[in-house]
Chain A
Amino acid sequence: NAGVTQTPKFQVLKTGQSMTLQCAQDMNHEYMSWYRQDPGMGLRLIHYSVGAGITDQGEVPNGYNVSRSTTEDFPLRLLSAAPSQTSVYFCASSYWGVRGRTGDGANVLTFGAGSRLTVL
């Protein structure tokens, strides 16, 4: 089924541990992004990518790394987890620019199911 696959759904870490949240999409979307969602804060952009080999920082990038070696995959790495990184994380993807695409499909925005991370 076409969509965004995000794993794991739940994770508990100890302070200082590292981990990777996986995100994969099969819709040939150029744009992939990671957000964290905290109570009362809405969705905040961590990192994003507009294509393989291209990544950039969002609003809250500190403590997170990303890479984009393929169009399909956009993993988010926590290098040394801190309690402040306790949150729900969402991956989302979309086309980047219209590039001849017409209609609603050009602006579709698809989210993964979310990953709830707790750092003790």
Chain B
Amino acid sequence: KNEVEQSPQNLTAQEGEFITINCSYSVGISALHWLQQHPGGGIVSLFMLSSGKKKHGRLIATINIQEKHSSLHITASHPRDSAVYICAVRSNTGNQFYFGTGTSLTVIP
């Protein structure tokens, strides 16, 4: 069973397009992370959410706790946004982290 499901698995966009990546989870959580991994690179945390919405530059993350769903939006996408985006949640019972399999984003100039 997968505690965290992401969609789409792969995404190709033209530069400037608005992008949405979705994450659904099945466990109770204390926090949700959106992670970014560039090809051959390390994993960095873009956002940590426990409620509501956060914005960093062109990136916006939202979470709906009741519906167990989060979205990552990228406005005015750029080729440097090309990366794998991973949704991770921290269980509020066992404190474990569960990870989605990632969304591979390619932004074409």
Contacts and interface: CB of A to CB of B under 8 A. Distances in A.
Contact of B86 (A43, A107, A112): A43
A109 B88 contact: yes
Interface in B61-109: 86, 88, 90, 95-97, 99-102
Given A40-B101, A42-B101, A43-B86, A107 B48 contact: yes
B42 A107 contact: no
A96 B95 contact: yes
B31 A107 contact: yes
B27 interface: no
A108 B42 contact: no
Contact of B43 (A33, A98, A107, A114): A114
Nearest to B29: A107
Given A42-B86, A43-B86, A111 B44 contact: yes
B30 interface: yes
A108 B45 contact: yes
Contacts of B41: 114
A89 to B, nearest CB: 12
Given A42-B101, A90-B43, A114-B42, A109 B48 contact: yes
A2 interface: no
Interface string B43-58: 1110010100000000
Contacts of B102: 42
Interface of A: 31, 33, 35, 40-43, 45, 48, 50, 90, 92, 94, 96-98, 104, 106-114
